[in-house]
Amino acid sequence: MLFQSQGFALIFLPLAVASYYLAARSAAARQYVLIAASLVFYGWWDARFIILLVGQISASWLLAWTAARIGRNWPLYAGLVLNLASLATFKYLDFLLASLQALIGIDLPRAHILLPIGISFFSFQLISYLVDRLRDDAPIYPFRPFALFVLLFPHLIAGPIVRHNELVPQFALDPLRPGLWQRIGTGLVLFTIGFAKKVLVADKLAGLADPLFGRAAHEWLSFGDAWTAALAFSFQLFLDFSAYTEMAIGIALLFGLLLPENFRRPYLSTSLRDFWRRWHISLSNFIRDYLYIPLGGSRNGPVVYVFATLVAMAICGLWHGAGWTYVAWGVWHGLGLITCHAWQALRRPLPAVAGWAITMLFVLVGWVLFRAADFTTATTMLAAMAGAAGWGGSLHNVGLLAIAAAISALLPSAYEIIERRPILSPAVATAFAVLAGFCVLEVGRGPPLTFIYFRF
């Protein structure tokens, strides 16, 4: 079930919220309501994968519990292997086989396993819990809140990636506590903003970018076409994913829960390090805490720093998809972060405008690599952007690109909206309701496009 579908917005969500508040007085009852709703939500795509999801959650909890009982760490390592093996099998097996085939030159069979939606997100959350148990940085939770921490449907499919200690304690809070209407009101505003960004802007940008990237797979694009494709995809990716996050945070607020921040207007970044503090923050934090620092971080000399950065970013790339273009995108950002780090060590800061321009150009080139189906397409696209096929053509649909740029730069992020607040007048409430209503009518036109990050 997609957030931006009529079934979700008009039936599932109102029913889930109503059931939750009917059960609000009992912590157990309201948690069961959320677990049931989350299982229905997940099973809507493919009920078979509920077994995998519940199995991974149950096994991880049981192994953590066993480790605590016997006072040994091996069950925790077993849990890590289990989650990594699940991810490797369902997401990376065919990629590994194809890579091995290219290496040894022998035809290998393919598994053709269907990718369970959200597996990267829920596996990472379970891994983070098990690692925290190894670090003695997490308690053993009762099974129900533990399961709910992973299952909670607002973040289940595409994050934000939540750490156990950010969410589990919130399950004990009374949803009817003071500030109820503020939380619901803010949730509705965030949901509406995300809904509108996805349906009215991001999906329109997809209509601009997709055919051009498709063409680039087998022909040269003009200079104008190539820049249109790169810009349209860059804005689409941000608006699509931040829209999802805003809807997720908004929905969680309807249940009185606060999810972590994921974006902070990343296209205003003036350096690449700044960009990674603003882009997919929950993933950046995860990569930092569970990969980059364990690999040595920046405090063990330049060689270790370069190694840790490149490996962490390559894995970050691979997390996004089973393909070498994703790895290359990660390494590209790794190299950029190393360069940025070295430049900042010189203590000769660039003017903000120059820093912004260089960062955006760097990010844009990365997105071409990220979006292209293969290296040939990416090379064709980047060469066309550099004028290799001439300087012809012009930007298409400049109006849409300008609107996307304005929204990306000016619209407050989810947490900025939570920290500020809408002007509480009937006119503003009506305006948001009309916007939400229009989005409901728009998505009723036909099959909605899924969020890009559902693939990861």
Partner 1 sequence: MAGFKRKDGPVGDAAWRRFVLTFLGVLAGGLAVLYALIIVIDPYDTGRFPTFMPVGVSDENQQTASASNGRNPIFNAAVFGNSHGMLLSPARLSKLTGLSFVQMTSPGSGPREQMILMRWFMRHHDRIKAFVITADQTWCTHDPTIPMLYQFPPWLYAESNLEYLAHMLNTRSLNTAYRRVLIALGYVKPTNPDGYWDYELGRTWSFRPERPAGGTLAPILSNDINRSFPALDALDAILAELTPGTPVIVVMPPQFYTLLPPPGSQEAAEFAACKADIAAHVRSRERSGFFDYLNDTPAARNPENFMDPEHYRENIAREIEADIAGVIAGESPRPARVLAH
Contact 85, 79 (CB under 8 A): no
- 446 contacts partner 1 (rule: CB under 8 A): yes
By the rule CB under 8 A, 176 interacts with partner 1: no
**Phi, psi (deg, nearest 5) at residue 299:** -105, 15
Which of these ranges, 22-30, 180-188, 317-325, 359-367, lies near partner 1 under the rule CB under 8 A?
180-188
Contact pick of 71, 178, 351, 399 for partner 1 (by CB under 8 A)? 178
Burial class (CB in 10 A: 0-12, 13-18, 19+), 135: exposed
* Cβ closest to partner 1, residue 198 vs residue 371: 198
Q: 419-448 burial, b for 16+ CB within 10 Å, e for fewer?
A: eeeeeeeeeeeeebeebbeebbebbeeeeb
CB of 185 vs partner 1, minimal distance in Å: 5
- Minimum Å distance from CB 153 to partner 1? 21
Identify whether 164 is a catalytic site residue.
no
Q: Which is nearer to partner 1, 51 or 434 (CB)?
A: 434
Single residue of 188, 243, 306, 327 touching partner 1 by CB under 8 A: 188
Q: Which is nearer to partner 1, 62 or 441 (CB)?
A: 441
Convert residues 399-428 into a mask of x (bound to partner 1 by CB under 8 A) and - (unbound). -----------xxx---xx-xxxxxx-x-x
Q: Which is nearer to partner 1, 10 or 354 (CB)?
A: 10
Burial call 153-185: b when 16+ CB within 10 Å, e when fewer: bbbbbbbbbbbbebbbebbeeebeeeeeeebbb
| Residue 437 engages partner 1 in binding (rule: CB under 8 A) | yes
Among 26, 73, 182, 376, binds partner 1 (CB under 8 A): 182
How far apart CA 115 and CA 94 sit, in angstroms, is: 11
Nearer to partner 1, 92 or 415 (CB): 415
Of the candidates 180, 293, 338, 383, which one interacts with partner 1 according to CB under 8 A? 180
Q: Per CB under 8 A, which region of 138-146, 212-220, 299-307, 438-446 contacts partner 1?
A: 438-446
Instruction: Tell me which of 155, 164, 320, 333 is the catalytic residue.
Output: 320
Closest C-alpha to 249, from 5, 27, 419, 440? 419
The answer to whether 15 contacts partner 1 (rule: CB under 8 A) is: no
Tell me: does residue 431 bind partner 1 (CB under 8 A).
yes
Cβ distance to partner 1 smaller for residue 98 or 440: 440
DSSP 8-state secondary structure symbol assigned to residue 452? G
231 lies in the binding site for partner 1 (CB under 8 A): no
- In 3-state terms, what secondary structure has residue 328? helix
CB atoms < 10 A from the CB of 376, how many? 12
Q: Which of 112, 299, 347, 445 binds partner 1 (CB under 8 A)?
A: 445
Q: Is 265 in the site for partner 1 (CB under 8 A)?
A: no
CA angle 420/279/403 to nearest 5° reads 70
Q: How far apart are CA 313 and CA 336, in angstroms?
A: 10
Closer CB to partner 1, residue 36 or residue 428? Answer: 428
Could you give the residue ranges of the DSSP H alpha helices within 255-351? 272-278, 281-287, 302-320, 324-345
Helix locations, 71-202, DSSP H: 74-87, 93-104, 119-134, 143-151, 153-156, 164-167, 180-196
Q: Going by C-beta distance under 8 Å and a sequence separation of 6 or more, which residues neighbour residue 96?
A: 88
Give the interface with partner 1 as residue ranges (CB under 8 A): 6, 10, 178-182, 184-185, 188, 410-412, 416-417, 419-424, 426, 428-434, 436-438, 440-446
Q: Which residues are catalytic?
A: 320
